[in-house]
Amino acid sequence: MDAAEFRRRGREMIDYMANYLENIEQRVVYPDLEPGYLRPLIPSEAPLEPEAYDDIMKDVERVIMPGVVHWNSPYFYAYFAVGSSYPSMLADMLCGALGCVGFTWAASPACTELETVMLDWLGKMLHLPECFLAGAGSHGGGVIQGTASESTLVTLLAARSKAIQQAKISYPEKSEGEILSKLMSYTSEQAHSSVERAALLGGVKVRKVPTDNYAVRKDMLKKMLVEDKAAGFIPFYFCATLGTTSSCAFDKIAELGPICNEENIWMHIDAAYAGSAFICPEFRPLLNGVEFADSFNFSPHKWLLINFDCSTLWLKKRTDLTEAFNVDPLYLKHENQDSGLTTDYRHWQIPLGRRFRSLKMWFVFRMYGVQGLQAHIRKQVMLAKEFESLVRADKRFEICAEVIMGLVCFRLKDSNELNQKLLKKITESRVIHLVPCQLYDKFVLRFAICARATESHHIQSAWRRITQLTVELFQEPSQ
């Protein structure tokens, strides 16, 4: 493909993408396929001779589209929202064209510098305390990670490294292995599984703190700390959640933060989904207490109209992370690395290579403006409230957790088995797509407003479908 053909095919691809997104609701949101569907549809080996582009595009419809779950469909209500917008997609194309790998400032200064400034822009949109921003004289700053899981992992590893150094001073008789075996991390029983995974990857123990109304309060954490210290453990890391995956509950960080600070425990905040909403003043109070945190993360690729991947992490003291795993081979060195005027993002993350992801932030922030982004969040919250009212008006159903943002947890006022059957019918109908969660002992259906294109009439039609399937369920002979 030469530049002339690239121009032609590029225009066609943009048309294909725009048509796909404009007409997405005509596609079945959740495919009906058996595992292994794809292998028989394509040859078992790569072609020896080049093939025609038109044939590849035909195969996109024949092979790929039947196996795609349409996350941008207004009938997709599973998991959490996924960011998508035209400016973000265009910026991603530009990123592909530049193809730079910005591991150090010298590897592509614009890639590093735009990221630092975008993290400050976004930090200011959230009214993060100054200490998290990278301005002159600050010890803090932000970085783009691929996912919330990576943010949790790198902060846990940094906290582990810090705790080991401190424990070596307090207990000089203990070996590093002994100290490691005593380190204890904490998170909510409602936290995302990625926190437990980070502890496993980091080789440290983790305890799950019980919740009150799905949120961790200070007494629950305090009790565990007393028990564990008495048993000889060294508490070193607490991951709070703002906007839990199951029910969008908010740990009481303003209560928990001071305890973590007193006990010398690194407090990380995982606000993967809900963090985007903190750009709206009405939701910002939920972030009060962030001033006690050592690190804070949320994923603009979830709810801020930026395409995957883009998960933003801020640190109060960036050297806690950048100096924890410092290696400095000659081939990565450059003359400006010790100038104090720049940073090398290779020290902030697990991989070395990194894409120019801040371009997506820059395009989206400029084309929507803060007001446009706030309007997007508010519209989706309003749609969730609309769905909540529909559920509340039907006496067969109950709402299972306070609806604060774009997630509604609901169920039939009946057994877990019946709710499981209802979800099975919904999934098999393939008209809308949702996933369940477990809230204490209850099997609950999660209805998350996800796609940018979702409107009130989609919500109304989704609810009609759910109630029709409920009627059918009650008419089944076994009921």
Please give the residue ranges that form the binding site for ligand PLP (CB under 6 A): 79-80, 147-149, 192, 194, 241, 243-245, 270, 272-273, 299, 311
Cα 409 to chain centroid, rounded: 19
Residue pointed to by tokens 């959230």: 126
Considering Cα of 240, then 286, then 131, then 292, what sign does the dihedral take?
negative
Nearer of residues 234 and 403 to ligand PLP, judged by Cβ: 403
For residue 441, cis peptide bond before it (omega within 30 degrees of 0): no
Q: How far apart are CA 151 and CA 309, in angstroms?
A: 13
User: What is the closest distance, in whole angstroms, from the C-beta atom of residue 149 to ligand PLP in the complex?
Assistant: 3
User: What is the closest distance, in whole angstroms, from the C-beta atom of residue 311 to ligand PLP in the complex?
Assistant: 5
User: What is the closest distance, in whole angstroms, from the C-beta atom of residue 243 to ligand PLP in the complex?
Assistant: 6
User: What is the closest distance, in whole angstroms, from the C-beta atom of residue 118 to ligand PLP in the complex?
Assistant: 18
Nearer of residues 113 and 196 to ligand PLP, judged by Cβ: 196
Nearer of residues 30 and 463 to ligand PLP, judged by Cβ: 30
Strand partners, 447: 408
Nearer of residues 59 and 196 to ligand PLP, judged by Cβ: 196
Nearer of residues 454 and 470 to ligand PLP, judged by Cβ: 454
Q: How far apart are CA 393 and CA 399, in angstroms?
A: 11
Nearer of residues 216 and 272 to ligand PLP, judged by Cβ: 272
Among 195, 213, 214, which residue's Cα sits nearest to residue 205? 195
The two beta strands, 407-412 and 442-448, are antiparallel
User: What is the closest distance, in whole angstroms, from the C-beta atom of residue 360 to ligand PLP in the complex?
Assistant: 15
User: What is the closest distance, in whole angstroms, from the C-beta atom of residue 187 to ligand PLP in the complex?
Assistant: 10
Among 215, 162, 160, which residue's Cα sits nearest to residue 184? 160
- Please say whether the beta carbons of 152 and 195 come within 8 A: yes
Q: What does each C-alpha distance from 307 to 161, 387, 423 come to in angstroms?
A: 33, 26, 29
Max CA separation in the chain (angstroms):
77
Nearer of residues 1 and 435 to ligand PLP, judged by Cβ: 435
Q: How far apart are CA 230 and CA 221, in angstroms?
A: 14
Nearer of residues 94 and 435 to ligand PLP, judged by Cβ: 435
User: What is the closest distance, in whole angstroms, from the C-beta atom of residue 309 to ligand PLP in the complex?
Assistant: 8
User: What is the closest distance, in whole angstroms, from the C-beta atom of residue 455 to ligand PLP in the complex?
Assistant: 24
Q: How far apart are CA 79 and CA 301, in angstroms?
A: 13
Nearer of residues 245 and 470 to ligand PLP, judged by Cβ: 245
Nearer of residues 92 and 270 to ligand PLP, judged by Cβ: 270
Given its phi and psi angles, is residue 211 left (phi above 0), alpha (psi -120 to 50 degrees) or beta? beta
Residue pointed to by tokens 């703002």: 242
| Exposure letters 378-392 (e unless 16+ CB within 10 A, then b) | ebbbebbbebbebbe
- Please say whether the beta carbons of 230 and 153 come within 8 A: no
User: What is the closest distance, in whole angstroms, from the C-beta atom of residue 310 to ligand PLP in the complex?
Assistant: 10
Q: What is the DSSP string of 86-153?
A: HHHHHHHHHHHHH----SSTTT-HHHHHHHHHHHHHHHHHTT--GGGS--TT-S-EEEEES-HHHHHH
User: What is the closest distance, in whole angstroms, from the C-beta atom of residue 67 to ligand PLP in the complex?
Assistant: 21
Nearer of residues 192 and 376 to ligand PLP, judged by Cβ: 192
User: What is the closest distance, in whole angstroms, from the C-beta atom of residue 196 to ligand PLP in the complex?
Assistant: 11
**What amino acid occupies position 275?**
G
